[in-house]
């Protein structure tokens, strides 16, 4: 056993070293490849036939499922994107209640920071911002400037929504709640971007505060000069939102309390510069120039330029994105800019830690990374940057509804003409020397990962459902994942087409609507015999014992519930083998009566047999105690009656074969090659205690019967 354990530890150590070597080797190759060639892949087509001329907003990742995204278009349609960036279904139309309005344009989306946290304020909650004609019948608080020169015919509206399902596939239309209406004079002054701080924790003062950017123009009243608002969108009494006391202009009567920054003019986007900083990185078109500036709020930029400027220039910056992926190591942790050079879109990078003077920005000139052709990205289309679950760079053509991903490759790609001819030969030789090594390492890692995922008992339990519960009406079944206290999936009993009992991955009983596939006493006994036959096998290291129920609905969708899982001496699930068997039998009778009553016999209720208390948890402490204490712990509490004492046989070394109460002799006697080692050791300890006089004849026999009975309760 020690040799095997040492070998396992050495294998684990060697695997970790190989994984590290493989990672750095891959990183080196990716660096060489990225400097040589890139590829531009079309990975999703968001445009649907039923939606015409609807521009798309940037993709929003689902924090509850890293394989899913939410896609929104300007008309208010919301879609779920999953399984390789494919649009799978429509979730909701956010403009259903605005059919009377001639104008509706969705402009921004933000998920609450508690979106994926159950039982927390904000779970499954998101906020939308849209532009519409002014609705004078609305009772929502309207934020506006009192200026007789302004004609306020439009509203920028922020609305709260909540999902009605745990898998975020349906939005409850009744959950719609308008937060605020902002009166604006023209369409250009609308909400372009809003967000919660991704780094704020629940104990921070700014947690749950919504930042909202509204475009503006120079020489306008404060609210229309290009502002960022900061509000708490949670409902408080009769108020639909509240204003943080820390807002910078709350004491200035001429400036709205909701304003966090003003005078930014045409604000494109903002983001948090670092998880350890409260500074906002602001991308805005200011005084006919593109600015990248850092701000902590409390700035009035109507009469002065920003103090902390990263970049300023004549080139229009359409979008910004921090890159934290791994496929493009040369760009890692850089600030990427999406700009347009004449008729071509291009990606540039800038040092986010540099600071330039107002009169000179040469020290922080953006560096061009690559340029797109007009065939790849049309110059007139609206383009934005985004990222996937691995923080890899995505380019979204919002006009066409197409998502592209940029990654490195070994084949032909972009910017090949920028590489000298001699560097191609050098790169090829470097790549050829590493490809073989990386392939071998990758093969080893793939084998290790597959082995771990396929043979890991805990992985199977986590992947499948771990509990099934019947409702009081007996019309529905609730399925739970491991450690979950709320139902994950509700399955209608009437929708079940088949129930399969599986033992160690093999089907041992099937119940469905077909003739002969009901349930009766003979099938119950056959099922129990199979479970007992499995129970007598010794659970050696690595051996897996699993009991599962597989429910198949009428749409042939499978739901697997792992009721019992044991690997070697480690039991993964809580319930014992005996209790799980009884649960399986009960479910077989119940499902058979519901879906195949014709071929299901009348169940005869049997008395419940109780077993002795399992003492395995105290085994280690018992072995270390003095012999008289061990005998006291083993000695039965209830002494046998006189009639029982007369029926007891004389104990000898051959009494290892005596059967426990209520157990068939054929089940109790095991072949020599399947004798449980722990059972033999325990029986030898009983004999030793009796021979030394610590146990009487009657106490020895009773303790032995309890020990054998406990074997069948595991």
pLDDT at 378 over 70: yes
Closest CA to 386 of 60, 106, 126, 112: 60
SS3 7: helix
Phi/psi region, residue 177 (left: phi>0; alpha: psi -120 to 50; beta: rest), is beta
Residue owning tokens 């004999």: 687
Percent of the chain with pLDDT over 90: 25
Write the CB contacts of 260 (distance below 8 Å, at least 6 apart in sequence).
211, 227, 228, 229, 230, 247, 248, 297, 298
Predicted pLDDT of residue 83: 57
Average pLDDT on 577-605 reads: 91
Average pLDDT on 599-616 reads: 62
Give, to the nearest 10 degrees, the angle between helix 677-691 and helix 627-634: 110
Instruction: For residue 613, name the pLDDT band (cuts at 50, 70, 90).
Output: very low
pLDDT at 547 over 90: yes
Predicted pLDDT of residue 422: 40
Write the CB contacts of 17 (distance below 8 Å, at least 6 apart in sequence).
none
In whole numbers, what is the pLDDT of the chain averaged over residues?
76
Predicted pLDDT of residue 178: 94
In order, the DSSP letters of 561-582 are EEEEEEETTEE-SSS-HHHHHH
Strand order in the sheet with 266-272: 266-272, 280-286, 289-295, 308-313
Measure Cα distances from 342 to 15, 29, 311, 345, 364 in Å: 52, 34, 20, 8, 21
**pLDDT greater at residue 455 or residue 537:** 537
**pLDDT greater at residue 616 or residue 225:** 225
Predicted pLDDT of residue 232: 95
* CA gap 48, 71 in Å, rounded: 12
Closest CA to 387 of 119, 60, 667: 60
SS3 169: coil
User: pLDDT (tens digit, 9 = 90+) per residue, 52-77?
Assistant: 556 788 888 888 887 788 888 888 88
pLDDT at 410 over 60: no
Predicted pLDDT of residue 390: 80
495 and 554 in contact (C-beta within 8 Å)? yes
Instruction: For residue 18, name the pLDDT band (cuts at 50, 70, 90).
Output: low
pLDDT at 9 over 70: no
Residue 301 CB coordination number (10 Å): 24
Helix and strand element counts for the chain (H, E): 11, 33
Instruction: For residue 15, name the pLDDT band (cuts at 50, 70, 90).
Output: low
Per-residue DSSP letter, 52: -
What distance separates the 2 farthest-apart alpha carbons in the chain? 112
User: pTM above 0.75?
Assistant: no
Closest CA to 476 of 457, 492, 460: 492
Q: Which two three-digit tokens encode residue 449? A: 């990962």
User: pLDDT (tens digit, 9 = 90+) per residue, 109-138?
Assistant: 999 999 988 888 899 999 999 999 888 888
Q: Which two three-digit tokens encode residue 513? A: 């609507």
Predicted pLDDT of residue 158: 95
In order, the DSSP letters of 122-137 are TTTEEEEEEEEE--TT
Predicted pLDDT of residue 247: 93
Predicted pLDDT of residue 695: 76
640 and 702 in contact (C-beta within 8 Å)? yes
Instruction: For residue 423, name the pLDDT band (cuts at 50, 70, 90).
Output: very low
**pLDDT greater at residue 575 or residue 681:** 575
pLDDT at 157 over 60: yes
**pLDDT greater at residue 379 or residue 90:** 379
Predicted pLDDT of residue 60: 87
Among the listed ranges 281-290, 402-411, 639-648, which one has the minimum average pLDDT value?
639-648
**Four-point Cα dihedral 262, 266, 271, 276, nearest 10:** -40
Residue 306 CB coordination number (10 Å): 21
Among the listed ranges 43-52, 178-187, 333-342, 508-517, which one has the minimum average pLDDT value?
43-52
Per-residue DSSP letter, 277: -
Highest mean pLDDT among 281-285, 416-420, 661-665: 281-285
Predicted pLDDT of residue 161: 92
User: pLDDT (tens digit, 9 = 90+) per residue, 245-296?
Assistant: 999 999 998 999 999 999 999 999 999 877 777 889 999 999 888 899 888 8
Predicted pLDDT of residue 118: 84
Phi/psi region, residue 342 (left: phi>0; alpha: psi -120 to 50; beta: rest), is left
Write the CB contacts of 104 (distance below 8 Å, at least 6 apart in sequence).
75, 76, 95, 98, 130, 131, 132
553 and 452 in contact (C-beta within 8 Å)? no
pLDDT at 541 over 50: yes
How many degrees, rounded to 5, is the angle at CA 670 between CA 641 and CA 688?
55
Instruction: For residue 356, name the pLDDT band (cuts at 50, 70, 90).
Output: low
Highest mean pLDDT among 303-312, 583-592, 621-630: 583-592
Closest CA to 551 of 624, 614, 494, 605: 494
Measure Cα distances from 669 to 392, 659, 676, 699 in Å: 62, 8, 11, 22
């Amino acid at each position: 056993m020690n040799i095997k354990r040492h070998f396992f530890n050495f294998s684990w150590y060697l695997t970790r070293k190989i994984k590290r070597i493989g990672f750095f080797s891959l990183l080196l190759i990716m660096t060489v490849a990225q400097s040589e060639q890139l590829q531009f892949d079309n990975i999703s087509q968001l445009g649907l036939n039923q939606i015409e001329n609807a521009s798309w907003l940037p993709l929003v990742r689902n924090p509850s499922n890293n394989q899913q995204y939410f896609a929104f278009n300007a008309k208010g349609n919301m879609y779920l994107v999953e399984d390789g960036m494919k649009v799978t279904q429509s979730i909701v139309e956010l403009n259903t209640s605005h059919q009377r309005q001639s104008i509706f344009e969705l402009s921004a989306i933000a998920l609450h920071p508690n979106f994926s946290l159950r039982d927390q304020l904000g779970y499954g909650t998101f906020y939308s911002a849209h532009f519409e004609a002014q609705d004078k019948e609305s009772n929502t608080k309207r934020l506006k400037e009192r200026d007789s020169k302004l004609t306020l015919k439009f509203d920028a509206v922020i609305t709260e929504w909540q999902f009605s399902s745990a898998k975020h596939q349906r939005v409850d239309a009744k959950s719609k709640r308008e937060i605020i209406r902002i009166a604006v004079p023209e369409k250009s002054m609308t909400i372009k971007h809003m967000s919660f701080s991704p780094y704020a924790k629940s104990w921070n003062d700014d947690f749950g505060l919504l930042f909202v950017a509204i475009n503006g123009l120079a020489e306008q009243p404060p609210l229309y000069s290009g502002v960022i608002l900061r509000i708490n969108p949670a409902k408080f009494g009769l108020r639909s939102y509240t204003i943080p006391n820390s807002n910078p202009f709350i004491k200035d009567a001429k400036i709205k309390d909701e304003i966090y920054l003003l005078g930014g003019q045409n604000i494109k986007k903002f983001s948090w510069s670092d998880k350890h900083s409260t500074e906002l990185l602001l991308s805005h078109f200011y005084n006919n120039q593109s600015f990248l500036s850092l701000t902590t709020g409390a700035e009035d930029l109507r009469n002065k330029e920003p103090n902390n400027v990263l970049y300023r220039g004549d080139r229009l910056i359409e979008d910004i994105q921090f890159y934290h992926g791994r496929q493009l190591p040369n760009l890692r942790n850089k600030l990427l800019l999406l700009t347009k050079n004449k008729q071509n879109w291009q990606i540039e990078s800038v040092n986010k830690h540099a600071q330039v003077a107002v009169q000179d920005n040469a020290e922080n000139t953006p560096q061009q990374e690559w340029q797109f052709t007009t065939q790849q990205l049309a110059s007139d289309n609206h383009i934005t940057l985004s990222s996937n679950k691995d923080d890899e760079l995505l380019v979204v053509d919002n006009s066409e509804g197409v998502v592209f991903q940029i990654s490195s490759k070994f084949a032909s790609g972009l910017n090949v003409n920028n590489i000298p001819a001699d560097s191609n030969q050098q790169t090829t030789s470097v790549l050829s020397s590493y490809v073989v090594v990386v392939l071998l390492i990758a093969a080893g890692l793939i084998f290790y990962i597959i082995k771990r995922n396929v043979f890991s008992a805990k992985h199977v339990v986590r992947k499948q459902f771990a509990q099934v519960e019947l409702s009081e009406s007996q019309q529905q079944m609730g399925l739970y994942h491991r450690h979950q206290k709320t139902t994950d999936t509700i399955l209608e009993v009437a929708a079940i087409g088949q129930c399969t009992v599986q033992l160690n991955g093999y089907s041992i009983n099937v119940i469905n609507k077909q003739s002969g596939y009901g349930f009766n006493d003979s099938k119950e006994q056959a099922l129990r015999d199979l479970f007992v036959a499995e129970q007598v096998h010794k659970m050696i290291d690595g051996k897996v014992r699993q009991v599962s129920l597989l429910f198949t609905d009428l749409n042939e969708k499978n739901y697997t519930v792992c009721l019992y899982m044991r690997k070697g001496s480690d039991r993964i699930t809580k319930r014992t083998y005996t209790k799980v068997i009884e649960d399986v039998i009960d479910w077989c009778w119940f499902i058979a009566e519901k879906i195949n009553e014709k071929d299901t016999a009348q169940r005869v209720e049997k008395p419940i047999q109780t077993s002795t208390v399992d003492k395995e948890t105290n085994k280690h402490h018992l072995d270390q105690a003095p012999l008289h204490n061990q005998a006291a712990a083993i000695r039965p509490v209830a002494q046998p009656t006189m009639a029982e004492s007369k029926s007891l046989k004389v104990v000898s070394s051959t009494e290892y074969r005596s059967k426990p109460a209520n157990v068939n002799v054929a089940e109790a006697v095991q072949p020599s090659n399947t004798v449980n080692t722990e059972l033999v050791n325990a029986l030898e300890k009983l004999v030793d205690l009796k021979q030394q006089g610590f146990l009487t004849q009657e106490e020895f026999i009773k303790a032995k019967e309890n020990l054998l009975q406990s074997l069948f309760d595991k």
